Amino acid sequence: MRGGNERQDSISSALKISLISVSAVLYAAGIAVTSPISTPWGVGHFRPGVVIPAFFAVTCGPLIGGAGAGLGCWLGDLALSFWGLTDPILSLIAGVPGNFVGFYLLGWLTSRFRSWGSFILGSLVSFTIGNFICAFGVVGYFSTVVPVWAPWPIEVKLATIVGFTLFWVATMIPFVIPLVPIIMKGAEPVLNKTGSIIKNPRLSWGKPSSLAVSWIFVAMILTIMYLVSIFTPVGDFLFSKVTEPQLIPWVKALLLIAAGVVTFFGVSATIVATRVFRKPE
């Protein structure tokens, strides 16, 4: 009996390592594809490939999601460093911890609350925290090694950290929110065969009212961020140190686009949840 348990544990460990490896390699490839698109500060990249670790975090849990994201981020940045597109040391300081924490948190939230409402709300929370960690690492690192960044006032550095965070949040949510459910649906036959790790790969629709509260809250937060960036001096201050000022209006518009994507997905999901909720047993 004990031997059977040990064998099951070894299978589970091997499966976890395999899933982390697959997630990391796929994420690294996704990073490479969009690496030519930089942030407006000329540091960091546009990364819609975050749908990959997000999928693994939601379906496989926090450890696999976080470890796959952190490892994949470093592998992708290491490969890009040979073309001078990034710095592997910067990746270890900023990208790896930010990705690990962000996707670990997403996996933890959705594992405790297995619903689409928690997925929407968890995406905003985890991406905000994870990207803030990454942005803090980027500004701290460049303030140390790049002479031009060092004399910036502390308030400018803090504003730049927030600016980086908003940029990454606004460019990740429009991809993760609509694409992860599609990938989960397509991968459902495979997910059902990995029950030793993934006890419940599906997310429930939950009550329509709870789902509506989640997406309305997230959409409102993104909309408020957009309005603040457009109609107050704060918006210009956050992006005061960008190297390509012509991109600032587009970056701000991404917040509104993200709010629109969340709204579209939320309305569609609420309609489906209402039909499921009213369906007789």
DSSP-assigned beta bridge partners for residue 45: 38
**Range 198-211 average pLDDT:** 79
* Structural domains of the chain, count: 1
Could you tell me what percent of the chain has a pLDDT over 90? 60
Confidence category of residue 1, pLDDT binned at 50, 70, 90: very low
Domain encompassing residue 274? 2-278
- Dist. CA 117–CA 131, nearest whole Å: 21
Q: For the domain that residue 95 is a member of, what is the CATH number?
A: 1.10.1760.20
The pLDDT, as a whole number, for residue 124 is 96
**36 vs 262, higher pLDDT:** 262
The pLDDT, as a whole number, for residue 198 is 60
The pLDDT, as a whole number, for residue 261 is 95
Confidence category of residue 168, pLDDT binned at 50, 70, 90: very high
Of 126-130, 144-148, 253-257, 274-278, the one with minimum mean pLDDT is: 274-278
Residues 6+ apart with CB under 8 A from 246: none
Tell me: pLDDT of 202 over 90: no
Tell me: pLDDT of 84 over 90: no
Tokens standing for 123?
A: 């995406």
pTM over the 0.75 mark: yes
**83 vs 40, higher pLDDT:** 40
The pLDDT, as a whole number, for residue 81 is 81
Distances (CA, A) of 144 to 140, 150, 225: 6, 6, 30
Tokens 């999901």: give the residue: 269
Nearest to 82 by CA among 40, 32, 146: 32
